[in-house]
Structure 1
Amino acid sequence: MTLQESYQAEKDKALRSMALAAVISVISGLCLLTIPLYLSQVYSRVIASRSIETLVALSIIAFVILVTYGILDAIRGAYLARIGIRFEARVASLLLAGELSLPKDSSQASLHQLVEVRKLIASNVLPSLFDMPVMIIFAVIVFVINPTLGFIVLAGMVILFSTALLNEVLTASKVKETDDSGAASHKALSNHFSQQELIKALGLYPQAVEHWGRLRARHLTQLIGLLDRNYALASVSKTVRNLIQIAVIGGGALLVITEHLDAGVIFATSVIASRALAPIETLVSGWRSMKQGRLALTRLDERVKKFRLVDGATQLPRPSLGLVAEKVVFIPAPGAQPILRGITGGFVPGQAVAIIGPSGAGKSTFARMLVGYLEPTGGQVTLDGQNIRSWDPVTRGSYMGYMPQAASFFEGTIRENIARMRVDDAPELAIEAAKFVGIHEMIMNFPMGYDTVISDGGFQPSGGQKQLLGLARAFYGGPAFVVLDEPNASLDSTGEGLLFETIRKARSAGIGIIVVTQRTSLLQQVDKILVLKNGQAEAYGTPAEVMPGQIVRAVPNKVSQA
């Protein structure tokens, strides 16, 4: 089942569950007929007959029904809350996996939108929608009692529905604009926190506050305008409902005087009329919440369509043939210049290849494409002849090692980070990876050894230590291919020695190594060198054939099979 199918299945489950909540809502709503019926019977039978026995019997019946109403209302509220929470719990993991699978523009926004949907499900707006059938039943009862009073109630319903439609017209675009401006201010705030080091070092506090404050002020200004309209229309609906109730009571009193109708029936009618109008009033007052929830659900549906996470693919065996790029082109955005321009080439297990070239040549982009992070605009990357995008990502990831330029870690222990957060794996595997890289003793000198927790407010390895730990994570589990992007950028001579020894071990173990580097010292540790320039393969060969400063034969747009 694909991610999209799983999302739709959870959405369908939630809708079916809400259908049951609607049935409960209708039954509980009908229980409220008890109050007007009790009022009518007290006026028409109890007072006229002065029968205490009748009053007690009616009171007991009313008590039982109203207690039942209270129980059903509580069940409905708790049930809707559970529907919303269950939907969020089951869909959140799908959204997070889908966002993390995107090659660019991943965002937390979809998770925030999921929270808005959950809030709508658990709010009092949906029960008001579910009460619509009961509202119609109540209006019909009023017509049956007296057509004149029925038309008064109908007029009130028309006015309230018109208010709801007016609310939709006045807030249709404003809700989206307010939501977008709020997302923009949140994005800016997150960016400022991620740039805290630069802001503190350069004293950019005024600029950061002014930039975020301008976006936040725009959002709050739009929010005030939206709330003003919403509260004004909600007040109109409350006023209309109260006026209609007065009209029903006054009209009923007039009918009692002129047509000698039963007073109890008329007073009961006013209660029924009030109940008939209540759901519409709640909808008007909760229109903003409903609009935000609908907008959030629409955006979720659109966002999920963009996810490309493969799920349930056939589990393929460990790669043994090679990692191949076939006429790979990468254009970062429509109309932008290509970063990669038709590179073709392959890498085989047991061989180390260095990728070098000037800044902006496309080295890191090519490395990200080889591990499946970026998707080619044209061409393809295959692993053992299978398009890398068709592989189950978890299976593919277990056969691949990757160390990006900036080694970063999850909030967790050293062992958990080396083990790629696979908490169910045997601890020995992380120790084996550390020993493979030669950092077991270094880790044992940490405060709690492998159980030392890496966190923002706690222990943080140095730059060189981070790269060595990232190197151990890349080789965890004995992958078939390892891609290293500037692995020695922060290493001293001792650290470089460990890196060189690790590369030698990997080649002997049949692991394919692709390393992006600017340091010539590492070039002596590889079998082949690929030179990229302007997104094209300018040269490819052994270190003796291809070294900085030497004249080489250009190999445009093609890399020989390694």
Structure 2
Amino acid sequence: MQDRRPSSRFSPRSFLATAADDPVSRALRESARRMTGIAIFSGVINLLMLSGSLYMLQVYDRVIPSRNLATLFGLSAIVLLAYLVQGYFEALRARMLCRVATLFDVDLQEAIHNALVTLPLRGVKPAAMQQPSRDLEQVRAFMSSMGPTAFLDMPWIPIFLLGLFLFHPVIGMTALAGTISIVAMTVLTERLSRGAAKAATESSAQRQVLVDAIQRNAEVIRALGMTDRFKARWSQSNERYLQENMRAADLFANLGSGAKVLRYVLQSGMLGVGAYLVVSDKASGGIMIASSIMMGRALAPVEVALSSWKQLVAARQGITRLRAICKETARPPVPLLDLARPCREFVVQQLTVAAPATDTPIVSSVSFALTAGMGLALLGASASGKTSLSKALVGIWPAKSGTVRLDGAAIDQWRSEDLGRHIGYLPQEVALFDGTIAENICRFDERATSEAIIRAAQIAGVHDLILRLPNGYSTPIGQGGLSLSAGQRQRIGLARAIYGDPFLVVLDEPNANLDTDGENALSRAIQILRQSKSVVIVISHRPSVIAALDMALVLYEGRSIAFGPCREIFARVGATVTQNAPRTQARPGPKSAPQYAAVPEHV
């Protein structure tokens, strides 16, 4: 399948220009607003950081020459109080950063959840499906770390430089040159680390996808003797991840160590310059010590930024991807009106369907109409487009062209939650969730009543089966329904599709794992649904289920070649098969089974 990862459609520059109203930008603006208070605390902390330099200046210039212990004790008490207040404000700032990061996560919960449930329907590669949650975690982790404090402290660097110039112009020029050098180191770090960090992130995502696939298919891998083969694939993926991660780690380690060495050189150089000025009688010993301490404080934000640069790059790339994905998967505008429950007709008009992220149509120009109480058998050979059409009928796959209407209104005119109440859907692979049987049947609706749950189970013919389980409707089924057999999962999935008396019910191979009793229960359920004025569409190859339906639609290579009453369609198919009998050898099977799989295109 062609890869169309949403993040590849947009450039970072276009986001900065056009993403003013996307949820990520709104959350960032709110976080910036909350950072205002933290910036005030940072200002107080930076002012208090001057206390160490001033203390050393006063000790060397006043206490030692005068040998006044009272002054020493007074200055020590003052600086101790300043340190305590500084520590309190630093702890308070760290706690506030954690809360700002948490609120950023909360602001994006809806958008991220919408992306997670939408991306699989857009044909996105598995490596990108879980990327939004990982990106959000990276951004939140950086926002709650000490990284942002470096940028909050950087505006105070000119204040420290000004203080150094006040000590002596030579000291100020030395500090300015050092600051320019370490800023140049920061720019170099940015340019060199961008590609390495991106490659490490992508290799990590690919490795995680392979891990998930191995865990999901562990039984098949063991049974078919593929353990060694997947071990080789895992080794290749893991080695690639380790190499990229090592390359990025080496780069950050080298740049970080270089920045630290540069800071040491600058601090020692500041001491040397101060010593020269002291020897030349142009400065005091207190200025020499205080300037060295103040220089270290001026460069501390840059050093913190360099030490957390890896997290910064990952967070920035994560924000870019989050903007792309949230914009790509944004919900459509909410309809202004709540439409009434459909109850009259279901119409498909010139519907063309393509798989997500592809342009080649699987189903082309299909049209039909059903009124309340009708049942449609969707027939055709394998790969004729039946499942693809069923996904478009319930709104899973968007139509490439054409419309699907309930009582005259296109299905996109309903809210997703409202439309879901009017539709019942049972896919080929029944997907149940970790929870009780009752929760799965009622679609995890907290307002569901016991009567509605039991009614759905009774219509599906699974009520007695559920009662025989250890805890009845409260029986936990485990992740994916692993504690149930395939037939039990299919029948509970049928009850879930029936729950709420939906107007449209689409069943894709609903009897693939059923025994005779299960098929009889399915036929009764279809008849009850039709008597309740629901429209039922069934994809099946077994005549026992098709007998409960009154209409049939035959697909051949994605096109509708026959639509009408079942008896008429089967008669036409039978006549065609009879005409082609000398040229085509019939497959062995029950004589009563309709031979729609062999329908030629001209029928």
State the TM-score, normalizing by the size of structure 1.
0.94
SS in structure 2 at match of 1:412: coil
Letter in 2 for 1:104: R
Match of 2:385 in 1: 362
The answer to whether the aligner puts 1:210 opposite 2:228 as a matched pair is no
Match of 1:104 in 2: 122
Shift of 1:516: 1.1
SS in structure 1 at match of 2:548: coil
Using the alignment, how far apart are the partners of 1:425 and 1:458 within structure 2?
21
> Is the contact between residue 233 and residue 285 of structure 1 (CA under 8 Å) also seen in structure 2?
no
Letter in 2 for 1:186: Q
Q: How does 1:9-408 map to 2 (within 5 A)?
A: 9-102=26-119, 103-105=121-123, 107-310=129-332, 312-313=334-335, 314-332=337-355, 337-408=360-431
Alpha-carbon distance change, 186 to 489 in structure 1, aligned in 2, over 3 angstroms: same
Using the alignment, how far apart are the partners of 1:457 and 1:500 within structure 2?
26
Single out whichever of 87-96 and 452-461 deviates more from structure 2: 452-461
Q: Deviations over 1:464-511 (max 9, x none)?
A: 111110110001111111111110111111111111111111111111
Shift of 1:523: 1.6
Shift of 1:552: 7.2
> Is the contact between residue 334 and residue 415 of structure 2 (CA under 8 Å) also seen in structure 1?
yes
Q: Deviations over 1:393-441 (max 9, x none)?
A: 0111011111101112100000000010113322332112112222211
Using the alignment, how far apart are the partners of 2:171 and 2:346 within structure 1?
80
Match of 2:4 in 1: none
Q: Deviations over 1:108-143 (max 9, x none)?
A: 111011001011101221111111012221111111
> Is the contact between residue 434 and residue 480 of structure 2 (CA under 8 Å) also seen in structure 1?
no
Single out whichever of 300-309 and 359-368 deviates more from structure 2: 300-309
Q: Equivalent of 2:461, from 431, 438, 441?
A: 438
Q: Equivalent of 1:517, from 540, 550, 553?
A: 540
> Is the contact between residue 22 and residue 323 of structure 2 (CA under 8 Å) also seen in structure 1?
no
Shift of 1:376: 1.3
Alpha-carbon distance change, 464 to 47 in structure 1, aligned in 2, over 3 angstroms: same
Using the alignment, how far apart are the partners of 1:334 and 1:534 within structure 2?
20
> Is the contact between residue 26 and residue 133 of structure 1 (CA under 8 Å) also seen in structure 2?
no
Match of 2:11 in 1: none
Shift of 1:20: 2.7
Unaligned runs of 5+ in 1: 558-562
Letter in 2 for 1:502: A
Shift of 1:308: 4.2
Alpha-carbon distance change, 393 to 456 in structure 1, aligned in 2, over 3 angstroms: closer
Shift of 1:5: 5.1
State the TM-score, normalizing by the size of structure 2.
0.88
SS in structure 2 at match of 1:546: helix
Shift of 1:456: 4.3
Superposition CA RMSD, Å: 2.2
SS in structure 1 at match of 2:399: coil
Match of 1:560 in 2: none
Match of 1:470 in 2: 493
Single out whichever of 480-489 and 39-48 deviates more from structure 2: 39-48
Shift of 1:173: 1.5
> Is the contact between residue 404 and residue 486 of structure 1 (CA under 8 Å) also seen in structure 2?
yes
Letter in 2 for 1:57: G
SS in structure 1 at match of 2:341: coil
Alpha-carbon distance change, 310 to 285 in structure 1, aligned in 2, over 3 angstroms: same
Name the % identity.
Answer: 32
Shift of 1:521: 2.1
* Count of aligned pairs between the two proteins: 554
Shift of 1:104: 2.7
Using the alignment, how far apart are the partners of 2:23 and 2:176 within structure 1?
44
SS in structure 2 at match of 1:454: coil
Using the alignment, how far apart are the partners of 2:418 and 2:357 within structure 1?
32
SS in structure 2 at match of 1:298: helix
Single out whichever of 30-39 and 337-346 deviates more from structure 2: 337-346
Alpha-carbon distance change, 322 to 51 in structure 1, aligned in 2, over 3 angstroms: farther
Alpha-carbon distance change, 550 to 458 in structure 1, aligned in 2, over 3 angstroms: closer
SS in structure 2 at match of 1:538: strand
Match of 2:511 in 1: 488
Unaligned runs of 5+ in 2: 1-20, 578-595
Using the alignment, how far apart are the partners of 2:424 and 2:174 within structure 1?
74
Letter in 2 for 1:320: C
Shift of 1:457: 10
